[in-house]
Chain A
């Protein structure tokens, strides 16, 4: 996993009728027809497919990520309960493939939130009013934001510094780009000991074939 330390980038805001969109679900982030891949790469073509294309498949110029100013945005700003629905990790993979490594929203759904950390994406939860204020600055002339994970500070285009909270353990993993599996395998003996105890106390959980 690639580490996340600092990010300086433009930000794209997902809005509907002048409000940050709430409940952006994973079907919306990447619809089902793009899940039939055996790769992690190339999924940006499906990112927000039904929002970014018209029914005939042509790009919708009004969709934020189709606008030249936001095409290379590394930050996404959205409304409450972002990433609800399916567990598909294709959602963070599609964001990553698009170059988005930070999502700012008032709240996140559990599985998506977890999947972000496994892919070097930083989800930042801030009150709706703060997200909305950041979204307003996203369209300004000098519209680059800086996200500094070590300091837990977002510097807005207006130069305002906004503190955000992040779990210490998650922060350490992101900063170092740690491989979870490698880390767990160092506890192999502890797992093996647990398995012995499990076999003794709940023997029926061992399949008859083993």
Chain B
């Protein structure tokens, strides 16, 4: 009998029950993260049915999606958008009613849900974690099975602490060697998605493996796992190791004393067996990855920053060809032209993909002693209040503001433009976020995904490159 993958192991240890007839499994959920946008209807459903929250203490709430990134100290009164305020108030009421821990807007521990969980030590290896947000895959960086769910499932988890689900297939992403100097986890993720496509991982859980992955920091691993969903996989995983434990030790909710010893002993067993069965394997040489940017309206439309924009006429796949034609039209770009040198009007450094301290340090390194180019508006949105405080303690805020960047308060911000931070039609943005879909950052807005280093460089030079 073949060995088990890490995913198999977490799955097996959390299966409460499997319905042999349908294949449906009830999976126990160790941590349920919630936010204001995908929960009001779930709480309303509980109320209608007079159902309780089974394990409020295994649930953590933040306000992040539609919070403004300035004047957060004013509280809800400072939220000008009435619909957003209404949603934030609903969350405040619901968490109070059901006794769920909540870091409200303005609390230093508040921030983007996928930054807060790891930062607090709530995210731990071997856990099952769900949230009504597709980028929940981020937490897989700790060797936790983590994925996004819909609001009906949020209600189900609130009521039962389980998820009714099916097992996915196993996909190994083997990255050998190491990433070259100046190449980041973001570049690796975009490089991978360009190879497998946005549906390449559909129906699979990806496990990132190999020496290049082992050398990544926790921040880098979170960036990589975060983007698993953009490759179609609901979840990404990286086996926990010393890097993981070093990051976790001493965090507020991490186990302490004897519990830490017991936990780490267990966590060290969380890796795929050498003879585990993989349904598919993708191999990448770390040295082949170059600084990468997207040119189109799908994360798979990514190329090295040194390359030229592809020509749809040369594409054999009719789906890719049609998508490329539409994307070039929307993005206002010419096939065959170099992507480097394309002028941008906006720069966004933030989101659950790239708003952690390491990301801000990388951006600050570029911004130091430089000025944001004329005609460019550049924004830095830290992932949480604690990331913001850490950056300020290191003087990064000064580096940014002196260079002409806006230093904002935490939240999802312009990644999805639910708050006032949006692009105007036709504006082109160098963005460290995760989706370059049509209209994602504002109707008619043109998004180029890239690493914090490349985005900061675009801010300074005014062009991609």
Contacts and interface: CB of A to CB of B under 8 A. Distances in A.
A111 B325 contact: no
A181 B37 contact: no
A135 to B, nearest CB: 14
A187 B132 contact: no
A80 B300 CA distance: 14
A205 B124 contact: yes
Contacts of A16: 322, 326
B21 interface: yes
Contacts of A203: 259, 262
A114 B154 CA distance: 13
A203 B132 CA distance: 26
Contacts of B198: 23, 81, 84
A40 interface: yes
Interface string B130-156: 001110000000000001111111011
A60 to B, nearest CB: 13
A181 B160 contact: yes
A101 interface: no
Contact of B28 (A80, A85, A87, A191): A191
Contacts of B202: 81, 107, 109-110
B101 to A, nearest CB: 9
Contact of A168 (B22, B150, B425): B22
A16 B51 CA distance: 46
B73 interface: no
Interface string B425-459: 10000000001011110011000000000000000
A82 to B, nearest CB: 10
Nearest to B260: A204
A168 B23 CA distance: 9
Contacts of B77: none
Interface string A95-110: 0000000000001011
Contacts of A198: 28
Given A17-B322, A38-B40, A87 B16 contact: no
Nearest to B86: A38
Interface centre among B199, B318, B417 (most CB of A within 10 A): B199
Given A55-B444, A87-B38, A87-B149, A81 B416 contact: no
Nearest to A39: B41
Nearest to B264: A204
A110 B201 CA distance: 10
What band does the interface of chain A fall in when counting residues whose beta carbon is under 8 Å from B? 35 or more
Given A87-B134, A181-B159, A118 B153 contact: yes
B35 to A, nearest CB: 11
Contacts of B326: 16-17
Interface in A66-87: 79-81, 84-87
A204 B255 contact: yes
B340 interface: no
Nearest to B149: A87
Given A36-B66, A191-B161, 12 more contacts: A23-B199, A32-B440, A36-B37, A50-B438, A80-B199, A86-B435, A114-B150, A119-B152, A169-B24, A180-B156, A181-B160, A207-B58
Q: Which 10 A-B pairs have the closest CB atoms?
A: A169-B22, A38-B40, A36-B83, A87-B148, A118-B152, A204-B255, A89-B150, A115-B150, A89-B151, A81-B199
Interface of A: 16-17, 19, 21-23, 25, 27-28, 31-33, 35-40, 50, 55, 79-81, 84-89, 92, 107, 109-111, 114-115, 118-119, 167-169, 172, 180-181, 183-185, 187, 190-191, 194-195, 198, 202-205, 207, 209-210
